[in-house]
Each structure stands twice: as structure tokens, then as C-alpha cells.
Structure 1
Amino acid sequence: MLSVESAATVRATLPAVHQALGEITGRFYTTMFADNPDLLNNLFNRGNQASGVQRQALAGSIAAFATLLLDRPDERPDAMLARIAHKHASVGITPDQYQIVHKYLLAAIVDVLGDAVTPEVAAAWDEVYWLMANALIALEARLLREPGDPWLRATVLERRRQTPDTVSFTLAPSIPLTFAPGQYVSVGVTLPDGARQIRQYSLSCAPERDDWRITVRWVRGSGPDGEVSGWLHANVQAGDELTISAPYGDLTLAPGDAPLLLASAGIGITPILSMLDHLVATGSTRQVVVVHADRSPADHAHREELVRLVAELPGATLHRWYEKAGACSCDPAPRIGYADLSAIDLPDGLVAYLCGPLPFMRDVRADLLHHGVPARDVHYEVFGPDLWLGQD
């Protein structure tokens, strides 16, 4: 909770800080990486830095957290920050690195806002930062598998082509760990220029299986090409070893008997597959509405597996949309165009899990709210920095 004095100062200065956040976060990353190049090459996602996505996500999280402190001072921030904490734990962020971020972020605020940053303003935003940082440090400490090296080894048991730009890797982790359906692991690789880059990939199988599986789409054509996804596609074969994290992620299938909507688009199908595989493995009879949207049948990763899993669940129905028709002996027949929940009879009291591009999830969420589904029952996963953080 912010002190009374700081709350008044933050409230008065929040509009100016919010307006300048893009410039502040840009200055922050530029100066921090200039002085600490290893952070960019060994921890931060270089692709997200090049595209500006990470900068947008940081600005959104700061603004959302400050607004929460002002508007809901009696609420703990854990729920909002859990998604960030899982990502941080999965890449091995350490408490001392929050000191580095603090140094450069506060300096960037002073550089951009100049004389408007009085000692009182600096102290108030310093308090905001440490409330956020300490909440994250505490959450991450509870999430970490154990102190020390957060990484483990995994042997690649199988490599399988799913679509022209998607490959799945079946893994045997060196340490037996459990995970919840919907979680992900980080994969760390050393690239040809010597940089170590880390990316997260959802586990696309049930936790009841003896092995793990990740599905990797080679990111190309929408900003910087994916460095890690491209490296995995080009280099990793059965018998190789990967460096991975323990499983993390807060989009996990909650137990119960409420009806489910599992909605995905593109590679967002991966955590949904884990949930479906888990429901099959546990003999679930829950009512499940499965929605998937993709560019075409040929682009639909795990298409036959999705159909099989839905068929094995007595209470499940499948609805597919493809942007363009293609050769597909699909049953039931898919629709052509974009996903439209108005074409589906949705059960009352459903809980929804969404994963896919932000426009897809925003449209689906809006449809669900229009149908009367409470916002608390709509859960989502964003691949990469969360540009949706703090939005209702």
C-alpha cells in the first residue's frame, strides 16, 4: 500500500508519467543495455527489444500497477503480477537484478521529465517501483524450484514436422517434475554470435504422460525473424539435448465440473492441447466447447490430434474456422472466415481459456462478456510480453 503522501503525489503526476512512458522505457532500455550488454545478449529477448514490444509491455505494467495502487489500495497485487512473476522465474531473474532496473528506470524518469521530478516526486515513484519489485521478488521466490541454477537438461526423443513452419519436440527431462495443463517451459540456446537467448514454449501434452512435448512455430515475416525458433528448427534433432527450465505459467486448467470453453488461434493451440489431453487422460465428462481458428487446414498444427482428443471426450464439441479453404477431410466441416462465437450455443456457467494473437483474444473475450460470462471466468495466455496486462 502506498503511503498517503506518495499516493497524492503519484495521483497528481500519473498523467504526465503515463504520457511519457514510451519515451521513459525507451531511454531506460537504451542506457541499461549500453552499460550492461550481457543483459540483452543473455537474458532479454532481442527480438522483442527490436520490435518495441517489450518497451510497450513494461510501460503498460507500470501504469497498471500504479493505477491499481491508487484505485484499489487495499488489494494485494499478486493476481496482476503473477503472470510477470512466472515469466521472470522461468528465465532465472534474480533479486539483485531489480536493483539494476531501479537504477536505470528512475534515471530515465528524471531524464525525460526533467525539473518536474522534484525530490517528492522521485520518492513517490521510487515507492511505487519497490512495491512492485518486492511483490515480484516474493512471488518469484515461492515459484522457484530450488535456490541456485534454475535450469535442467532434456533429451529430445522425437522431432516431428506438424506444418511447414511448425515442429514439435518430445522431451525427456533430466529431473522428473510435474506440471499443470497450460504451463510452459523456457528454452535457452546459444546462437552463432555467442549470445544466449531464452524463449518460452507451452507444454503441448498432458502432465500424465511420461515425457514432455513443446511445439515451436518458426516466427517469420512479422517483425524480426525468431532467432530461437529458427535455431531450433535448423539444428535440433532426436538425441540432442536442450537446456530448459522447470514448468511455469499461471494459465492452468482449474479442477471442477463447470463447462469449459477452450479457444485458440494459430500456435495458441499448444496449451489448449495440454488441457484437452489432460481431460482425456483423467476420463473427464465435463462439457467442453473447443474453438480453433487458423489460416488454413495445412497451417493448423496438431489438427488430427485435436480432432482425436475432442472425439475421446464424451462432453466435447469442436468448432473450427479457417481464413481460407484447403484440402481437408474434416468432420465436422470447418467454417471459412474468422471465429464467431455467435454461431455457437454456449453453455451457462462456463469458464473460458483463451490463447492466440491479441486481436483474436480480444474479440472472443468481448463476445463472452456480451454473452454474460463474468470477466473473472475468462482466462488467457499471451506468448511474449503481455500487452494486455492491467486491462479489464
Structure 2
Amino acid sequence: MLSARSTATVRATLPAVGAAIGDIADLFYEKLFAAHPELLRDLFNRGNQASGDQRRALAGSIAAFATQLVERPGTRPDVMLDRIAHKHASLGVTPEQYEVVHTHLFAAIAEVLGDAVTPEVAAAWDEVYWLMAGSLIAVEERLYAQQGVLAGDVWHTWEVTARVEETEDVATFLLRPAGDTPTPAFRPGQYVSVQVELPDGARQIRQYSLSSAPGSRLRSITVKRVRGEGSPDGEVSRHLHEHTRAGDPLRVSVPYGDLVLDHLDAPLLLASAGIGCTPMLSMLEHLAQEGHSGPVTVVHGDRSPAGHALRADHVRLTEKLPEAEAHFWYETPDAAHPANRTGLVDLADITVRPGTHAYLCGPLPFMRAVRAQLLEAGVRPADVHYEVFGPDLWLASS
């Protein structure tokens, strides 16, 4: 909880800081990478830095955390903090790195706001930062302990046992731990980080959902190739598609992620678009393995049936569940697809049962649209769970 003195100061300065937070984030990253270029090379996603998404996400998370401290004291935005902590844990972030961030963030605040940063203002925002950082460090320590790893030591070498071409731009890689390394446990819906060494020597990291269910030594990730040659956006997916084959080693983290299948006593709705189907396939396979008998509604949107990665599995696993039904929408349908499912996902004629828990994964506009339809249908905001790959630009927990 923020101290009373700092609460008054933060409340008074929040409009000014909020208005400048974008400039502060830009300058912070500039200073951080000038002092520590290895962080941009080997930890931060260069694509998200180039697009500005990471800067916007940082600005949004700080502003949201500070606003909660002053408007709803005694509570924390735990959904936001858990999502950030899971991502940090999958990257191997350590407590010491929060000191590095603090140094350059507060240098940026002082430079952007100038004389407005009095000692009292600096002390109040320092308290905000360490409340947020301390919360994240505590969650990350718990996540490391749950996986039996030391802080930051999340990486293992896995072997690619097979590669399956799902569509022109989507491939599934079947993986197993190299040697006698135990297979780490995971929950349906979680992801792993994959680190590859690129031609310029950078060791870039991206997250990919586990598209298989728990229960086997084998794991699988399904990767969509992101086009854009010469751009840092998609450089890891392109590397995997172009260079990774059966028998190759792959550096993989232990699993993390807060979009996990839960609330099995409630009606479930699994909504995805594009490659966002991967965590939903893991959930469906788990439900089928467990003999789940409750109602499950499967919703998916894609450009075309041919581009719908893992479509056969989507259908097959849904059919294994006695109370499940699948609804697919395609922007460009073919002759075998019903005309009333052409275009974007529309839940208007889908029965959304009372008490439904919904799990969403896909592009941000898709999830915003589906969430709005679910809320209109009576689903509680707290019962809509989602996954964003890359910086979370949507605080859907509000």
C-alpha cells in the first residue's frame, strides 16, 4: 500500500506523469540500451521495440498501477501483475535487473519532467516503482520455485523430434528434452520461450503456446511464419521455419503463462483466431483425455479453411467431447463451408450459457470484439480470460 504522503503526491502529479509517460518510456529504453546493448540483443524483442509496442505497454502498465494505488488503495491489479510476471519468468528475468531498470527509468523521468521532479515527487514515484517491482519479484520467485529452477535459470536444451507442415506458413515442431532432463510440467494453455541465435549473433526470444496436452514426454509448439524479410518483426519465426529440422537442438524455457484451463465445473467457451488456436488445442486435448462431460463451445475465426492451422485437430477433439460444439468463421470460405459462418466471428446466434468462463487468444481486435459480445451476453468481466503474445496493450482485467 502506498504511504499517505506519497498517495497525495502521486495523485497530484499523475496527470502530468501520465501525459508524459510515453516520452518517458521512449527515453528510458534509449538510455537502457545505450548502457546495456546486450539487453536489446539477447532479452528484449527487437520487433516490439521497432514497432513501439513495448514502450506503449510499459507506459500503460505504470500508469495503470499508479492509478490503482491512488484510486483503490489496498488492492493490486493482480491480473496485470501475474501476466507480466509469467512473461518475465519465461525470459529468466532476475531481481537485479529491476535495479538496472530503476536507474534508467528515473533518469528519464527527471529529464522529461525537469524541475517538476522535486525530491518529494521523486520519492513518491520511487515508492510506486518499488511497490510494483517488489510485487513482480515476489510472483516471479514463486513461479521459479514452482518449476524447481533458480531465478533466471529457466533454459534447457530440447531436441526437435519431428516437424509437420500444417499450412504454407505454419509448422508444428515436436520436442523432447535432450538427454535425461525431466520433462517440466505445464497446464493447458501455457507457453514456452524459445531462444535462437540469429545471423548477427543476437539471441532473440519469442513465446509459443504448447499446442499439445500434458501427460507425455513429447511437447509440441506450432509456429506461424511472420512475413517481412529484413524486419526484426518475425525474425525468430522465420529462422525456425527456414533452419529448424528434425534432430536439431532448440533452447527452450520451462513453461509459464497465466491463461490456464480452469473452472471445469462451469460452461466453457474457447475462442480463437488465426494461430491463437494453439492454446485452445491444448485445452481441448486435455478435456478429451480427462473425459470432460460439461458444455464446451469452440469458436474460431480465420482467413480461409486452408489457412486454418490444425483445423482437423480442432474438429476431431471437439467431437470427442459429448457436450461440445464448434463454430468456425472464414473471411474467404470455400464450397464446403456454411454461408452463415462467412466473415468475422459473430456470437449473435451462439448460445452463451449462464456462468460461462471464456478463454480468448488471437489478434487484439478479435479479442476486443469477442469480449464485448460476451459481456453483452451476460458473461462477467472476471470470467473472460485472455492471452496476448507480445506486449499487453489491452488491460482487459478492468
Scaled by the length of structure 1, the TM-score of the pair is 0.97
Q: CA deviation at 1:334?
A: 6.9
Q: CA deviation at 1:347?
A: 1.4
Distance 2:354 2:35 in 1: 55
Offset from partner CA, 1:18-67 (integer Å, 9 cap, x none): 11111110000011101110010011001100010000100010011001
Q: Secondary structure at the match of 1:280?
A: helix
Equivalent in the alignment of 1:111: 111
1:168 aligns with 2:172: yes
Query: Cα RMSD (Å) of the superposition?
Result: 1.5
Relative to structure 2, which stretch is displaced further, 171-180 or 84-93? 171-180
1:286 aligns with 2:294: yes
Equivalent in the alignment of 1:135: 135
Change (3 A) 1:285 1:333: farther
CA contact (8 A) 1:202 1:214 kept: yes
Equivalent in the alignment of 2:222: 215
Percentage of pairs with the same residue: 63
Q: 1:229 aligns with which of 218, 234, 237?
A: 237
Q: CA deviation at 1:389?
A: 2.7
Equivalent in the alignment of 2:354: 348
Distance 2:388 2:361 in 1: 7
User: 1:145-156 maps to which residues of 2 (within 5 A)?
Assistant: 145=147, 146-147=149-150, 149-156=153-160
Equivalent in the alignment of 2:250: 242
1:194 aligns with 2:169: no
Equivalent in the alignment of 1:383: 389
Equivalent in the alignment of 1:303: 311
Corresponding letter in the other structure for 2:213? A
Relative to structure 2, which stretch is displaced further, 73-82 or 343-352? 73-82
Residue ranges of structure 1 left out of the alignment (5+ in a row): none
1:322 aligns with 2:322: no
CA contact (8 A) 1:259 1:286 kept: yes
Equivalent in the alignment of 1:363: 369
Scaled by the length of structure 2, the TM-score of the pair is 0.95
Residue ranges of structure 2 left out of the alignment (5+ in a row): none
Offset from partner CA, 1:310-336 (integer Å, 9 cap, x none): 111111000010111236x45x77711
Q: CA deviation at 1:255?
A: 4.3
Q: Secondary structure at the match of 1:341?
A: coil
Q: Secondary structure at the match of 2:99?
A: helix
Distance 2:132 2:296 in 1: 37
Offset from partner CA, 1:112-149 (integer Å, 9 cap, x none): 11111111111110000000001101110110132162
Change (3 A) 1:58 1:238: same
Offset from partner CA, 1:164-193 (integer Å, 9 cap, x none): 111110111232221100000000111110
Distance 1:292 1:80 in 2: 25
Distance 1:196 1:50 in 2: 17
CA contact (8 A) 1:90 1:247 kept: yes
Distance 2:305 2:223 in 1: 18
Equivalent in the alignment of 1:8: 8
User: 1:1-150 maps to which residues of 2 (within 5 A)?
Assistant: 1-144=1-144, 145=147, 146-147=149-150, 149-150=153-154
CA contact (8 A) 1:217 1:229 kept: yes
1:258 aligns with 2:266: yes
Q: Secondary structure at the match of 2:239?
A: helix
Relative to structure 2, which stretch is displaced further, 256-265 or 168-177? 168-177
Corresponding letter in the other structure for 2:131? L
Distance 1:370 1:2 in 2: 36
Q: 2:321 aligns with which of 308, 313, 324?
A: 313
Distance 1:214 1:124 in 2: 44
Q: Secondary structure at the match of 1:342?
A: coil
